[in-house]
Amino acid sequence: MFVIGTAGHVDHGKSTLVEALTGIDPDRLSEEKAREMTIDLGFAWLQLGEEEVGVVDVPGHRDFIENMLAGVGGIDLALFVVAADEGAMPQTREHLAILDLLEIPNGVVALTKVDMIDDSDWLELVMLDLEEVFAGTVLENAPILPVSAKTGQGMEALRQTLREKLQTAVPRPDNGRPRLPIDRVFTVSGFGTIVTGTLLDGRFRLGDSVEIQPVGKNGRIRGLQTHKTKLDVAQPGSRVAINLTGVSKEDVMRGNIVALPGQIKGTLLFDATYRHLPDADAPLKHNMEVKLFVGAAEMVARTRVLGAQQIEPGEEGWLQLALSEPAAIVRGDRFILRRPSPGATLGGGKVLDPYPGRRHRRFRPDVVQRLQTLTQGTPAELLLQTLRRLEPVSQADLLKQANMDGDAVAAALQTLLDEGEVMALGKQLVSRIGWEQHRDKIRALLAAFHREFPLRLGLSREELRSRLRLPGALFTPLLAQAAADGLLVEAGALVHAPDHQVTFSSQQQAAIDRLFNQLAAAGVNSPSVKECKTAVSEPVYFALIDLGRLRQLAADVVYGSEQYEQIVGQMRAHLQQHGSINAADTRDLLQTSRKYAIAILEHLDEIRLTRRVGDNRELF
């Protein structure tokens, strides 16, 4: 998913480029069309090979830079648009500074409107100037591609470059704690409230209960879409529209967060590391009023500079930000600070502790030491990162690979176990996220199996293990945990979803009744397996096997459950009275042929009721 940045004025070609790439005009507002400039966020999507990529078109004009900041969170790549007839404009450096502060990992520069440039020397000068402007920024090594949305020049090269860049992007992490910073709220007749944003840190599922923070409103996910495609599960990093029930449009606003209940809450105070821009015209001072932009939210805050009197241009330091209203944030979120008037970007940083609980004394050494530790990561966080890289892993191997002090790593592991972030499955450790991924895959595999084979009771344990590609040492305790959590039911060698039931049509039931009448009349000399399958159909036959109503003893010997119990009872009684039995005795006892007698004896050996001693069988 990528954002369109710009450094141009009116009619610089940015939205035209988006429309040429996607076929979608991102400018939604009549004022945008009248003024020929992007004022608020626009949205589109682009097909790059097999991958569908979300596009957020953000305002480029400096008058609307604060609207831009609502749309640049959670992106994987910035497409930075510069008009060839204008080159780098005054706001270019501010846009670059914002990309730097947010640590946007990838970038491509589109030099648009090259069809209007007849002088090749001018084009070369513009490109050289841009290389100089981008030096030392996240766009320093970004390719600069001359394009024309009007003539199509360079458009295929641009698509190919975007595809290559996105293929190398690091996948968005799934931390099992989904949250969606809301950048747009609207209603649709017959559906109700719709919110959109870029999904971070996890997956939402249809029917999930959710919480809107920091306002504390509760609702449920009625529908999920990505690029107008309905979903059952929304993946991290994707642009998502959520249809909410129990939440009105008036309950939510841009900047709120959709999350699972109890996983995130609002805060009025947070600790952070901060970088002041080198070209800021003054230091960042203590108790300074600033505008804070984090996620899609914007609010007024006051700075509390920690460990120093002030933070000079180009320097880094520690801040505690006191907010004018609650914000729903998590550790690691990046933010931007701007001067309210005259408007200018001051710097930005990263949230270290969203809930410090109290205002720190500014110059206490223990406060600064704690912030330094938080910047590097807590022992538990570092250990969890190692586990996620290795899982499943034994405790001994994890402690060996953690490269941490023995006491610290043991304490960190215990903390993670106590908090439920790590689970012990047999002798293996997995993260909560890893467990949830296994859980979701089990649920999906069983659902797919039941859809394909509705008359089968369930999937065999061994087949499930094979599809999960897990060693037995992990699969057995994993399955036990899944059963304990109510995700599946174990039925002998089969497993099935808790709500799955085998049901027969009236015609199928009539055929089953006829077969069982035939089996009862035949007694030990039952119809062949082939005849039974023909009588009820093969799917129904295997369903009866799964349900235990038919017992197949050999390739061509099958009994109804009642006949089977009677036969086993007769054999057990004979053995208890006589001590042993052979094939001839079995044939005479049951008044059957050798075919049935051998099948019965071998079956009793298999279920360990008997054991073979020479030509005889004895009770096991």
Question: What's 291's domain CATH number?
Answer: 2.40.30.10
Domain ends where: 479, 502, 525? 502
Residue 227: pLDDT band (50, 70, 90) is confident
Look at 44-58, 182-196, 311-325, 437-451 and tell me which has the smallest mean pLDDT.
44-58
Look at 140-154, 330-344, 404-418, 515-529 and tell me which has the smallest mean pLDDT.
404-418
Q: Do 25 and 158 belong together in one domain?
A: yes
When pLDDT is averaged across residues 330-336 and rounded to a whole number, the result is 90
Q: Inform me whether the pLDDT recorded for 26 exceeds 90.
A: no
Measured CA to CA in angstroms, residue 568 lies from 492, 537, 564, 600 at distances of 19, 27, 6, 9
Q: Is 264 inside a domain boundary?
A: no
pLDDT at 171 (0 to 100) = 77
- List, in order, residues 6 or more apart from 95 with CB less than 8 Å away: 5, 6, 7, 60, 65, 68, 80
More confident residue, 333 or 55: 333
Q: Is 102 inside a domain boundary?
A: yes
Q: Do 414 and 512 belong together in one domain?
A: no
pLDDT at 6 (0 to 100) = 45
- DSSP 3-state assignment of 134? helix
Q: Do 146 and 191 belong together in one domain?
A: no
Residues 21-45, buried b or exposed e (16+ Cβ, 10 A)?
bbeeebbbeeebeeeebbbbbbbbb
Q: Do 25 and 133 belong together in one domain?
A: yes
Q: How far apart are CA 472 and CA 493, in angstroms?
A: 14
The fraction of the chain above a pLDDT of 90, given in percent, is: 58
Domain ends where: 127, 142, 167? 167
Q: How far apart are CA 252 and CA 443, in angstroms?
A: 33
pLDDT at 208 (0 to 100) = 95
Total domains, the chain? 5
Residue 388: pLDDT band (50, 70, 90) is confident
Residue 34: pLDDT band (50, 70, 90) is very low
Q: Inform me whether the pLDDT recorded for 442 exceeds 90.
A: yes
Locate 96 and state its tokens.
């670059």
pLDDT at 173 (0 to 100) = 76
Q: How far apart are CA 98 and CA 364, in angstroms?
A: 31
Q: Is 174 inside a domain boundary?
A: no
Q: Do 148 and 185 belong together in one domain?
A: no
Q: Is 173 inside a domain boundary?
A: no
The fraction of the chain above a pLDDT of 70, given in percent, is: 92
Q: Is 172 inside a domain boundary?
A: no
Q: Do 469 and 540 belong together in one domain?
A: no
pLDDT at 169 (0 to 100) = 78
Q: Inform me whether the pLDDT recorded for 31 exceeds 60.
A: no
CB 340 within 8 A of CB 363: no
Q: Do 483 and 408 belong together in one domain?
A: yes
Q: How far apart are CA 453 and CA 359, in angstroms?
A: 61
pLDDT at 396 (0 to 100) = 84
Q: Inform me whether the pLDDT recorded for 52 exceeds 50.
A: yes
pLDDT at 285 (0 to 100) = 97
Residue 492: pLDDT band (50, 70, 90) is confident
Q: Inform me whether the pLDDT recorded for 153 exceeds 50.
A: yes
pLDDT at 444 (0 to 100) = 92
Locate 365 and state its tokens.
């050494």
- Report residue 501 CA to chain centroid gap: 30
Q: Do 363 and 384 belong together in one domain?
A: no
Q: Inform me whether the pLDDT recorded for 30 exceeds 50.
A: no
pLDDT at 215 (0 to 100) = 94
Q: Do 497 and 512 belong together in one domain?
A: no
Per-residue pLDDT tens over the stretch 429-441: 999 888 988 998 9
Range of the structural domain that residue 527 is part of: 506-619
Residue 338: pLDDT band (50, 70, 90) is very high
The two most distant CA atoms of the chain are separated, in Å, by: 109
**Nearest CA-CA partner of 71 in 297, 269, 364:** 297
Q: Do 520 and 485 belong together in one domain?
A: no
Per-residue pLDDT tens over the stretch 252-267: 999 999 999 988 889 9
Amino acid at residue number 87: G
Q: Is 412 inside a domain boundary?
A: yes
Residue 60: pLDDT band (50, 70, 90) is low
CB 76 within 8 A of CB 2: yes
pLDDT at 65 (0 to 100) = 62
Residue 567: pLDDT band (50, 70, 90) is very high
pLDDT at 168 (0 to 100) = 81
Beta-carbon count within 10 A of 426 CB:
16
Q: Do 392 and 449 belong together in one domain?
A: yes
Q: Inform me whether the pLDDT recorded for 35 exceeds 60.
A: no
Domain ends where: 118, 141, 167? 167
Q: Is 8 inside a domain boundary?
A: yes
pLDDT at 1 (0 to 100) = 39
pLDDT at 99 (0 to 100) = 86
> Where residue 434 sits, what CATH number does that domain have?
1.10.10.10
Residue 554: pLDDT band (50, 70, 90) is very high
Q: Do 214 and 288 belong together in one domain?
A: no
- DSSP 3-state assignment of 386? helix
CB 340 within 8 A of CB 94: no
Per-residue pLDDT tens over the stretch 70-128: 656 667 888 888 888 888 877 778 888 888 888 887 889 999 998 888 888 888 999 99
